[in-house]
């Protein structure tokens, strides 16, 4: 393995053999994750040069970023999207390259409808990729990112009311520069889930926005609308009757 000369931009790095190795596995996962999700509005934040929503059946699919071929230009920390309007949001390597990942997650929680989905891809710091980051220049992609621990990201999502529904590790091969070395370590991709399930260079998370049900306390209309029973008045005791009471006698003829 030789020392990697990594391009500084994300797109240049994704064009390298290692970037293509990563992109192929991520595209495969996103294709499977979004294929059976339904709704009206889906948003992909980041990596807009690659259509990670291509397998989605949702009619409106929008790419959001500050530059590139996008439908919406926006900062991920302040999305120009109405609250409770999105059915699906993808976050491909957005959180680890932002100084405010918590704010981005809060914005995603705001725009998502109840029971809507978010799919996240992040680099795993506890992997060969995370180990490689220690010895690489922090000015180059992807090693300049702040890789997020999986348990920490789960805690952030739980605090925002998300429920984890699925997830997967991927990219178990070492982050080699040349294609021949990636091919030689190809066996690690199949053995990774069995022998070192937490050692993938990338992890995926799927979560659903849960909203606790509310119980409205209403007036007891049923009892208020029931007509009151009209009771017969109680007989009064006559102390000094005004007229004598005469018995009526029926005479049979």
10-residue mean pLDDT profile of the chain (253 residues): values are 56 91 95 95 95 96 93 95 97 95 97 97 93 76 91 96 95 88 82 78 96 67 60 60 51 50
Sign of CA dihedral 171, 173, 177, 179: negative
3-state secondary structure at position 222 = helix
pLDDT confidence of residue 212: 80
Residue bearing tokens 């119980």: 215
Are 87 and 39 in contact by the 8 Å Cβ rule? The answer is yes
pLDDT confidence of residue 205: 97
CA distance 228 to 219: 18
pLDDT confidence of residue 198: 83
Strand order in the sheet with 162-170: 72-73, 60-65, 41-45, 86-92, 112-123, 202-209, 162-170
What is this structure's pTM? 0.79
Main-chain dihedrals φ then ψ at residue 95, nearest 5 degrees: -70, -40
Looking at CATH, the fold of the domain delimited by 22-209 is given as Rossmann fold (3.40.50)
Main-chain dihedrals φ then ψ at residue 102, nearest 5 degrees: -65, -40
In three-state form (DSSP H/G/I as H, E/B as E, the rest C), the secondary structure along 53-97 is: CCCCCCCEEEEEECCCCCCEECCCCCCCCCCCCEEEEEEECCHHH
Residue 142, preceding bond cis, omega within 30 degrees?
A: yes
Where helices occur in the chain by DSSP H, the ranges are 10-14, 17-34, 101-111, 128-134, 150-159, 179-184, 187-195, 221-225
pLDDT confidence of residue 10: 86
pLDDT confidence of residue 2: 42
pLDDT confidence of residue 237: 61
Q: Which of 203, 195, 197, 198 is nearest to 147 (CA)?
A: 203
């Amino acid at each position: 393995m030789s020392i990697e000369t990594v391009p500084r931009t994300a797109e240049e790095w994704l064009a390298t053999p290692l970037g293509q190795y990563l992109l192929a596995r991520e595209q495969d996962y996103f294709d499977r994750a979004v294929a059976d999700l339904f709704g009206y509005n889906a948003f992909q934040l980041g990596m807009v040069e690659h259509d990670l929503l291509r397998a989605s059946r949702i009619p409106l699919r929008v790419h959001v970023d500050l530059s590139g071929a996008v439908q919406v230009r926006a900062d991920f920390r302040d999305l120009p999207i109405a609250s409770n309007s999105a059915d699906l949001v993808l976050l491909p390597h957005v959180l680890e390259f932002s100084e405010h990942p918590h704010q981005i997650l809060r914005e995603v929680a705001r725009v998502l409808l109840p029971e809507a989905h978010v799919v996240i891809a992040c680099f795993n710091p506890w992997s060969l990729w995370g180990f490689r980051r220690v010895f690489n220049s922090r000015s180059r992609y992807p090693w300049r990112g702040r890789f997020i621990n999986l348990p920490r990201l789960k805690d952030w999502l739980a605090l925002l009311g998300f429920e984890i529904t699925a997830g997967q590790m991927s990219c178990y091969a070492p982050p080699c520069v040349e294609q021949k070395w990636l091919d030689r370590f190809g066996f690690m991709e199949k053995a990774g889930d069995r022998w070192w399930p937490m050692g993938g260079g990338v992890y995926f998370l799927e979560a659903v926005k849960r909203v606790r049900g509310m119980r409205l306390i209403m007036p007891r209309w049923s009892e208020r609308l029931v007509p009151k029973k009209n009771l017969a008045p109680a007989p009064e005791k006559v102390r000094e009757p005004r007229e004598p009471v005469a018995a009526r006698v029926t005479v049979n003829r």
